[in-house]
Structure 1
């Protein structure tokens, strides 16, 4: 997930709280301040019903936004037709009022509509709100001027507008700052997550390396020490066989850290390629769907097969059979007489049989049912 996507998610969560707070403010203004003004100024309206319709429309828009916020979504493209509706009811609220009372106390709608406009463009920034609010007041003042009279002096009207607008702009600015803070929070959270992930990956890689080193220290380290000190003769067949086994085992261990769909098959193929370089002809057969095998169990499961592949001189038949929670790995090969490790543990059992020059090894892993 990108920083922008994360910032949008965090901003949406913060903005939902802002929306609910603003919805509460608007409903309080409409029913606590504007409704009493509407009722008190009934005699100044050409049509009381039109004024009631204006109030109902404003409440309806607020409720519509509240439903979307409750569903977990913010105001979308439909804000634009709703702004058109607000422009229409603004005109209705002004022209159905006696010209001499326009901008006066009975003219409640021109102040209230600004709050609903703010609700619709809260996530668009201060610039959008100021532009729409200016257009709204421009239309209202033009209608008042056309009527030739007003219930308030220009200075008084401007004073009322400035006081109301100051509160609305403060909320718009806070919402804009909130989105910037959410972006900063997202950057910080993602950076912390990246550092935690890097630390965990580094720790896991270090643990894997130490595990591989421990796996080789009991076998490869003494062999290398013996060759370096001269205690072991490189010309001895048993020493060469031991070196071949360790070479294949190292190849398998190096493949354990690879990110592949089937780690078991990947490790076996690495061992097979080394055996084929030494002259063996390996035929691999797979049956069934294999469950994922843990790294430690894979190491035990392939240990006997590694010893056979390292020393096989002719044809080798390698078979893997998978079931819902088990894997059976068997090897039939012409291999010299030597000790094949019988490894048991981590759910793995191994059996070895010999018939003449042919060696049959089977290792089975049983997972949790």
Structure 2
């Protein structure tokens, strides 16, 4: 059982509840002995023995995490049955003459009958249903026999005894019901946690796959598409350099271990201008001329810089592949701790009213996944403004 699980919390609560119930009865016993037999040794000896056993019972339970059934049975047989019977017999019963002080005056030891309730509560929680029912019957028989021996007359139990009998039964029943409910809730909580962890792991794997798909779409696929279309010389030094970088990326992707990355590295702030410039150089390797301007760019968290650079890379890929022009303009400025990046071309443009993913130029998937989704994930936003024959403007803002 995992530490801190719902089931363990339910067990801890029931041990605490039954322990407090026992403590209330012991407190009543202490007050009774102090008031009626403060100068006598026997009542204090009985109280001290039961107190020591109770401390051991609950201390052992807390150390183990739950009750030991053997000690619960010992509690039933000793605290709930043997001690009250022995005290009743030693008191001399209705005729007096017993070897314990007090004779037929049960007031000195009446608090022992209270313990039947807390003993039955512990048994109702720790034992299986049938053994718990047997323990309750033993406690009922002991209480009734001791009462009739001390008080009598036979066959005429008084209201106090009826109250003790009711306490034994009701304590066991209520404790059992509470334990059933709390155990059920704790188990359901643990199952819900397991489902949430499984779902979170699945979402993490899906997010990782999407991230790799985006990266492959924006890098390797874009490079291969450009080379296949004959738009660049595959033997050119810049193209070969880009192919080498992307081959290294694929190699790392295949060989990457499943260990999570350092959160400290992800949270570190970096210069966003360097990340954007890398995206610009990558596009220029495939023959696109990019005029870039940067002004007062603040440092941003690494995930933000990575997402902005990847979105810019996709915007430049779209210019190169779909705009029908070999030139693009990039402007990146900082304001109020945020960043605004604009990529503009004077190419063919397209109709933004066409549903995303249905654009005839094939740009829908890249806009949706590599630009809009990336900016949304980092708390930013993106806007695309275009019209047929009027070129295209892509604006990226962080934060939104």
- Normalising by structure 2, we get a TM-score of 0.48
Contact preservation (8 Å) 1:226, 1:232: yes
Task: For residue 157 of structure 2, give the secondary structure of its aligned residue in structure 1.
Answer: helix
Q: Deviations over 1:220-272 (max 9, x none)?
A: 233222244343577x68799579747734632532664269x9xxxxxxxxx
* Alpha-carbon distance between aligned partners in 2 of 1:213 and 1:39, rounded to the nearest angstrom: 84
Contact preservation (8 Å) 1:90, 1:109: no
User: In structure 2, do the counterparts of structure 1 residues 129 and 254 end up closer, same or farther at CA, with 3 Å as the change threshold?
Assistant: same
**Residue in 2 aligned with 1:118?**
120
**Residue in 2 aligned with 1:134?**
137
* Matched residue count: 259
**Residue in 1 aligned with 2:54?**
62
**Residue in 1 aligned with 2:85?**
91
* Alpha-carbon distance between aligned partners in 1 of 2:124 and 2:205, rounded to the nearest angstrom: 48
Structure 1: where are the runs of 5+ without partners? 43-47, 264-290, 301-369
User: In structure 2, do the counterparts of structure 1 residues 228 and 245 end up closer, same or farther at CA, with 3 Å as the change threshold?
Assistant: same
Structure 2: where are the runs of 5+ without partners? 97-103, 269-274, 276-400
Contact preservation (8 Å) 1:7, 1:186: yes
User: In structure 2, do the counterparts of structure 1 residues 184 and 217 end up closer, same or farther at CA, with 3 Å as the change threshold?
Assistant: same
- The offset of 1:160, in angstroms, is 3.9
Give the alignment of 1:12-31 within 5 angstroms. 12-31=11-30
User: In structure 2, do the counterparts of structure 1 residues 31 and 221 end up closer, same or farther at CA, with 3 Å as the change threshold?
Assistant: same
Task: For residue 258 of structure 2, give the secondary structure of its aligned residue in structure 1.
Answer: coil
Give the alignment of 1:218-297 within 5 angstroms. 218-231=218-231, 245=244, 248-249=247-248, 251-255=250-254, 258-259=257-258
Q: Deviations over 1:178-227 (max 9, x none)?
A: 33233333333334434543454355335434543454445423322224
Q: Deviations over 1:266-320 (max 9, x none)?
A: xxxxxxxxxxxxxxxxxxxxxxxxx9997999xx9xxxxxxxxxxxxxxxxxxxx
**Residue in 2 aligned with 1:78?**
71
- The offset of 1:94, in angstroms, is 1.6
**Residue in 2 aligned with 1:358?**
none
User: In structure 2, do the counterparts of structure 1 residues 228 and 183 end up closer, same or farther at CA, with 3 Å as the change threshold?
Assistant: farther
- The offset of 1:15, in angstroms, is 1.5
